Chain A
Amino acid sequence: MNTILSIQNLNKRYGKIHAVNNLSFEIEKGNVYGILGPNGSGKTTTLSIILGVVKNNSGSFSWFGKPPSSESRKQIGAILEHPIFYPYMSAESNLKIIADIKGVDANDIERVLKTVELYDRKDSRFKTFSYGMKQRLAIAGALLGNPEVLIFDEPTNGLDPKGIAEIRELIIDIAKQGITIILASHLLDEVQKTCSHVLVLNKGNKLFAGKVDEVLNVADTIEIASDDNDKLQFTLQNIDFISNVKSDGDILTANIKAEKTTYDLNMILIKSEIIVTHLARRKQSLEKQFLELLNENQ
């Protein structure tokens, strides 16, 4: 059984707003998935549905190949939006409730509190915690009982740069243990740094799904010119790692596959007896690519 989660034609409407629009995707065991999309793209709604707190209007989903139930939720560790705990209770007592619900041994609490470095604050009440500590406690709660899948919804939201770095490191560490992770974020950089797969959502629609490298590292741009631009253009069009060749005044622009270098290109051109007078590679920023991705699909 390698499919952890399977979603088919999921729909959720809030009045006129179509928060999740006919969404289908599958989550395979052992991968780290990023659900990427701007605010309001349906990430949290989708996660709320698969976690059983929000009802979908139509469509279906299954966890571990079975219809969703409270039993399947016990094998999932999740944080949804903000950290939620009983404010008047200590960190440890709050985790005891989760342990009781999941049927996990209370001895595991020490391990998860140590993982998120909150063990020495175990007796402090939740409401006395800073936001970063609350978020770490939420992660500790999700880790209780070594769940098969972890779901993190905007885990670095509201944290300072140090907190962000710590949480990301923690997620990467967890991912190394082979646990399946679903991470929702509006930060491209975050998904790119932590995830192996990505699902791009906008306005409740799925735009792309695939491996992070394939979806997000489309191609870089090159600018190139020589004495004979016509011959150059003809040659470039026949190189397999070059695409989208256009003439832009005195220079040509084209896309080059990310894994190829200008050295590779130059070697071919020299063999074709073309001497370039100008060659520059522009690394397209990921942020820009992401925005382009969203714009193309408006």
Chain B
Amino acid sequence: MIRLLRIEFRKLKPYKAFWVMLIFYTVLLAIMVFGIPGLIDWVAEKSGDSKIRIFKAIVFNFPDIWQNIAFVASLRIFIKMILGLIVIVLITNEFSNLTIRSNIISGLSRGEFLTGKILLLAALTIFSTIIIFLSGLYLGFTNSSSKDISDVFGKMSFLGGYFIELFIFLAFALFIGILFRKTGFSIIILFAYSIIELILDYKLPDSFSPYLPLNAMNNIIRSPNTSLIKLKSPGFNFDFQEAISFADVGIALVWVTIFISLSYFLLKKRDI
């Protein structure tokens, strides 16, 4: 495990494009996270709508902040796409530079190669989760009305949900990269599929909806109950998510098993 991670890290360390993309992702995430309070203030001032101020007072409250921040960071076709792109670039480079071939010739097994990449996905996911965690702590402590320990740590399971959701998304990107092997084409497929699934979701009967792969991962963290809609229309009773559901996680875990098994099968069966 450590050997495989070390090999992956050796490949990344001098790879400038990777670090540029990762810093870009981090900066974008930071701007978003830290810019939101100011943005809300600005909107509230412009519109003069007092409810927006109430919204701000609620949205950063412990423990709801964990759900809110995890929800925003894991929105589909949004900031997590950058991490998906990083994964596609890293895996397809191995094919276009033929370095996967030299790895295998040197004595790496196909399974070890895939394991190394999966460990890399886990590392990226941990990195992103830590950023979300730190941002949540900062925003919470600067804005939350309650700073009780029980509130600070309440709903932190959403961070776990975020970890699972992001990891599955990156495993999906890895699978696309292994399937198509060409960088540009794989990136197009990742974006195209994200849109195709929305259309599929619309066309197919509702009962299929939770089982589509992107839906399955996105359903782990659903719209938080601090939504503006609820404030705007208090009489309207939405069924908001209060905790991570094991059923949602279960469906998503089936998908990640499929992505990883298919990736392994493709690596095993094909000429490299």
Q: Chain A interface: which size bin?
A: 20 to 34
Question: Which residue from B11, B101, B107 sits with its C-beta under 8 Å from A84?
Answer: B101
The answer to whether A89 has its CB under 8 Å from any CB of chain B is: yes
Is residue B130 contacting chain A, with contact meaning CB distance below 8 A? no
Q: How far is the CA of A87 from the CA of B14 in the complex (A)?
A: 10
- Beta-carbon contact of A51 and B7 below 8 Å: no
Asked if residues B14 and A84 are in contact (CB atoms below 8 Å), the reply is no
Contact count band on B: 20 to 34
| A270 surroundings in chain B (CB, below 8 A) | none
Q: Is the CB of B106 within 8 A of A101?
A: yes
Is the beta-carbon distance between B105 and A102 smaller than 8 angstroms? no
B103 in contact with A101 (CB, 8 Å):
yes
User: Smallest CB–CB gap between B90 and chain A, Å?
Assistant: 11
Closest CB in chain B relative to A230 CB, distance in Å: 63
Rounded to whole Å, the gap between the CB of A155 and the closest CB of chain B is 15
Distance of A54 Cα from B15 Cα, bound (Å): 28
Q: A55-B271, A69-B109, A100-B3 are in contact. Are A86 and B11 (CB under 8 A)?
A: yes
**How many angstroms between the C-alpha atoms of A96 and B10 in the bound complex?**
8
Expressed in whole angstroms, the minimum distance between the Cβ of A69 and any Cβ of chain B is: 7
**Shortest Cβ distance from residue B12 to the other chain A in the assembled complex, whole angstroms:** 10
- Chain A residues contacting B270 (CB-CB under 8 Å) are 55
Cross-chain pairs A/B with CB under 8 angstroms, 20 sampled:
A51-B105, A53-B105, A54-B271, A55-B269, A55-B270, A55-B271, A69-B109, A70-B109, A76-B107, A78-B105, A84-B97, A84-B99, A87-B97, A88-B14, A88-B16, A89-B15, A90-B14, A97-B7, A98-B102, A100-B6
Contact string, A69-109, partner B, CB cutoff 8 A, digits 1/0?
11101101010101011111110010011101111000000
Chain A positions 93-151 with a Cβ under 8 Å from a chain B Cβ: 93, 96-98, 100-103, 141
Query: Interface SS of chain B: helix, strand, loop or mixed?
Result: helix
Q: Give the B-binding residues of A (Cβ under 8 A).
A: 48, 51-55, 69-71, 73-74, 76, 78, 80, 82, 84-90, 93, 96-98, 100-103, 141
Residue B98, interface by CB 8 Å: yes
| Nearest opposing residue in chain B for A86, CB measure | B99
Would A73 and B104 count as touching, CB distance under 8 A? yes
> Complex formed: what's the CA distance from A80 to B100 in Å?
13
Q: Give the distance in Å from the alpha carbon of A88 to the alpha carbon of B107 in the complex.
A: 22
Residue ID in chain A nearest B102 by CB atoms: A84
Q: Which residues of A contact B15 (CB under 8 A)?
A: 86, 88-89
A-B pairs with lowest CB-CB distance, top 3: A74-B107, A70-B109, A84-B102
Q: Which of B1-19 contact A (CB under 8 A)?
A: 3, 6-7, 10-11, 13-16
